[in-house]
Amino acid sequence: MKPLLKVTMTHHTLTAEDKARLDDLRTQIDMAQKGRGELIPLLQVAQKTIGYLPDEALAMVADHLEITRSEAYGVASFYNQFRFTPPGRNPVKVCMGTACHVRGGEIILENFERKLEIAEGETTADREFSIERVACVGCCALAPVALVGDTLHGHMAPSKVEGLVLRVRLEKEKAEREAARS
């Protein structure tokens, strides 16, 4: 008999920063109440602490609440507020609201995916960028719109995508050179 739903949890290599945040999470979870009603609040704490829900965080929450890991994953995967991949240091959010959609938002998203060599919902291997589609950022007059980090870029064109990515990479290199001189 074939299963109705195949649940695949992706495993990401934890960075030293992730491991330190997991230790912080352990402390917070140990102080939390038990009971099924605490599942969503603890998942929110985990995501706020780590930035996403790695397998290890889901396991901590499930073990604390004495539920199965698949139950915890099932609830987390139901809500779109939870993410299972680490966010990039420069999250790219492409607006897909009506105005942006009709003015080429999908093409802008595809260009970011092609340039960064990742799909929507993924993060680059160096964790520098992640791509997400968002419903509306409220800047319809500037459509199509993309956010790179906290910076809004209006009147996006496919030709602007490469320049934005390059700018972020050059700023990172400059910051690293300055840090090396210090």
Average pLDDT of span 10-15:
70
Give the pLDDT of residue 81. Answer: 87
Q: Which pTM value belongs to this model?
A: 0.75
CA distances from 43 to 88, 130, 136, 153 (A): 20, 21, 25, 32
Average pLDDT of span 125-136:
93
Give the pLDDT of residue 9. Answer: 45
Task: Determine whether the annotation assigns residue 139 to a binding site.
Answer: no
In this predicted model, what pLDDT tens digit does every residue of 95-128 receive, in sequence order?
999 999 999 999 999 999 999 999 999 999 999 9
- The distance from CA 40 to its chain's CA centroid, rounded to whole angstroms, is 18
Give the pLDDT of residue 158. Answer: 94
Burial zone of 122 (CB within 10 Å; 0-12 exposed, 13-18 middle, 19+ buried) = middle
Arithmetic mean of pLDDT over the chain: 91
Domain ranges in the chain are 16-78, 90-181
**pLDDT score of 2 more than 50:** no
Average pLDDT of span 30-51:
94
Q: Which CATH architecture has domain 90-181?
A: 3-Layer(aba) Sandwich (3.40)
More confident call, 8 vs 124? 124
Q: Which amino acid is at 142?
A: L
Give the pLDDT of residue 12. Answer: 67
% of the chain at pLDDT higher than 70: 93
- CA dist 32 and 38 (Å) reads 8
Containing 130, the helix (H) or strand (E) segment is: strand 129-134
In this predicted model, what pLDDT tens digit does every residue of 84-95 receive, in sequence order?
989 899 999 999
- Answer for the pair 116, 92: CB distance below 8 angstroms, yes or no: yes
In this predicted model, what pLDDT tens digit does every residue of 16-40 receive, in sequence order?
888 999 999 999 999 999 998 999 9
* Residue 4 pLDDT grade (very low, low, confident, very high; cuts 50, 70, 90): very low
